[in-house]
Amino acid sequence: MFSEFRPAAERMDAVLSLPLLIGSFVVLLCVLFNRVSNRLGIPMLAAFILLGMLFGSDGIFKIAFENFFFAEQICSFALIFIMFYGGFGTKWTSAKSVAVKAVLLSSAGVVLTAGLTALFCYFVLGFELLISVLMGSVISSTDAASVFSILRSKKLDLKDGTASLLEVESGSNDPMSYMLTAGVLSLLRGQADPGAIAYLVFAQVVYGVVLGAAVAFAARHIFRNFQFSTNGFDAAFLVAVAVIAYALPTLIGGNGYLSAYLAGIILGNSHLPNKRTLVHFFDGVTGLMQMAIFFLLGLVASPSQMPGIVLPAAAIALFLTFVARPAAIFALLSPFRCSKEQILLVSWSGLRGAASIVFAIMSINSGVVHDVFHIVFCIVLLSILVQGTLIPVVAQRLRMIDENANVLTTFTDYTEEVDLQFVKLGIGEKHPWKNRYIREISMPPELLVVLLLRAGEHLVPSGATEILEGDVLVVCAPAFQDDTVIRLSELTVRPDSAWVGQRILDVRDELDCLIIMIQRNGETIVPNGQTRLQSGDILVLNQT
């Protein structure tokens, strides 16, 4: 009887296997392209777009994909994680000094850029009025993924807090562009009046901010008071939090992207258990989302249709780069007495990216007959290839590189990016450092006590700090960087073992390796030669 279902099952497996094989192959190519693009100095996101075009209907592999609705859904989903991690990775202590300027750029700056671009499209290119406003709205925001990627990969250490300014602006200006786009599309459909537009803006901002903060604080409370039973469930929980932060306000007319970004900022700057693992996890997820979104956008595009729109697209890109954005940046940053070099660099660093193309796809799905998508696609490609490639050069020419700064400190995962290792040392009753001052302790030159935990307090130590019983010292040292492989293994001491009750010193010849840690009754012990082994001990051995 079951044999009747076997052919159908085999057909289903074949139908499913081919897309999975292609998808996996694409991810592998994106990873390889990333290495190649870094060597050539081309932003990796541009490489993903070009790879998508290579697979598209006009490329080598001739995959005909014109489902704009599906593309919008996938890209909108990917943007949730890009926006959330944009906030999660922004270090507020570095960003708060430029927060006012960044908020102005991500709100008034977007409006000014959209307005100037709309005027250019209407009076110079001869577009219809609402199409001109739509075009300006769609491309008015800058791309967080592109900006973050370039700052990190090129390690651009910029003066005057410029890196933090660009990070916060690019991470927070998509919601304003989305509101403008949604409003114009409502006008094009004849479904909006002034009251409806006013409520749209109110709902987008207020619901997005309130619900984003509420979700973040609730999630933080759960993180701090709930013990996850299985490793990895905290990462799964945070994924759900990011999606909820987007979905809740969206259901009632709020701005889901603003909510997700705000939730990311609050959680990213909170003390969360196992935060290092969460940072690595979301690094991988966001990287995968970037691959998916830019590859899919390249796949949807039809290069054969671009000759007809390349001139207006290039004209808009030039106007946007050299007139609209510089004018908006100059108008908003000049009152803060920013240097002309900073204004010029911020102007040049306004990269267009995924959000603009997603909003263009949204326009197509709303029934706009004008080829907004390919015009915006061409603008984005030019922006990433030209502006993105030249940002390091422009920063160098403007003398905005700060040799004494580190751009990685503007991200919440800074400690994961530098060659440092932090170790926690507990001071017990018989510890040799007990009741001694830090200046009296003989330590290697590259070792530094950076924090002292005492009775729930966090103290910054100095040489005159006395170490007491019960203290916990956090010690910093350079991380191990070498090609040598350290092979760790575990060995459990059985009840009938001859080692039970023996000192490590007495059994080391039998082991022929180093015991670097003992796990005993849920505790971790760093042993020495006098440590006696007990039944049930789990020995962690270095067998290099």
Structure tokens of 332?
Answer: 């908003």
Is the pLDDT reported for residue 305 higher than 70?
yes
Rg (CA), the chain: 28
Mean pLDDT of 133-149: 87
Share of the chain above pLDDT 70, in %: 88
Rounded Cα gap, residues 342 and 330, in angstroms: 10
- pLDDT for 111 equals 96
Mean pLDDT of 82-90: 86
| Residue 402: other Cβ atoms inside 10 A | 17
Rounded Cα gap, residues 257 and 236, in angstroms: 20
Closest CA to 138 of 372, 314, 457: 372
Rounded Cα gap, residues 413 and 477, in angstroms: 18
| Residue 298 near residue 377, CB atoms below 8 Å | no
Q: Which long-range contacts (CB under 8 A, 24 or more apart) does 36-41 make?
A: 38/153, 41/389, 41/392
13-25 pLDDT per residue, tens: 555 676 678 778 7
Q: Which residues contact 309 (CB under 8 A, 6 or more apart)?
A: 371, 374, 375, 378
Share of the chain above pLDDT 90, in %: 29
pTM recorded for the entire structure: 0.72
Q: Which domains does the chain carry?
A: 66-410 (1.20.1530.20), 419-478 (3.30.70.1450), 488-542 (3.30.70.1450)
| Residue 133 near residue 184, CB atoms below 8 Å | yes
Instruction: Beginning with the edge strand found earlier in the chain, give each strand of the sheet holding 457-459 in spatial order.
Output: 420-426, 472-478, 448-454, 457-459
Rounded Cα gap, residues 43 and 83, in angstroms: 19
Structure tokens of 266?
Answer: 């609050």
Is the pLDDT reported for residue 411 higher than 70?
no
Closest CA to 320 of 396, 375, 399, 373: 375
- Residue 72's SS3 state is helix
Mean pLDDT of 257-266: 93
- Tell me how long the chain is: 544
- pLDDT for 13 equals 57
Q: Where are the beta strands (DSSP E) in 367-513?
A: 420-426, 448-454, 457-459, 472-478, 488-492
Q: What share of the chain is helix, strand, coil (3-state, %, to 5)?
A: 60, 10, 30
Is the pLDDT reported for residue 484 higher than 70?
no
Structure tokens of 310?
Answer: 């390349």
- pLDDT for 414 equals 47
Q: What is the mean pLDDT of the chain?
A: 83
Rounded Cα gap, residues 522 and 466, in angstroms: 30
Q: Which residues contact 32 (CB under 8 A, 6 or more apart)?
A: none
Is the pLDDT reported for residue 266 higher than 50?
yes
Cα separations in angstroms, 121 against 128, 316, 529: 8, 7, 78
Q: Which residues contact 216 (CB under 8 A, 6 or more apart)?
A: 241, 245, 262, 263, 264, 265, 266, 267
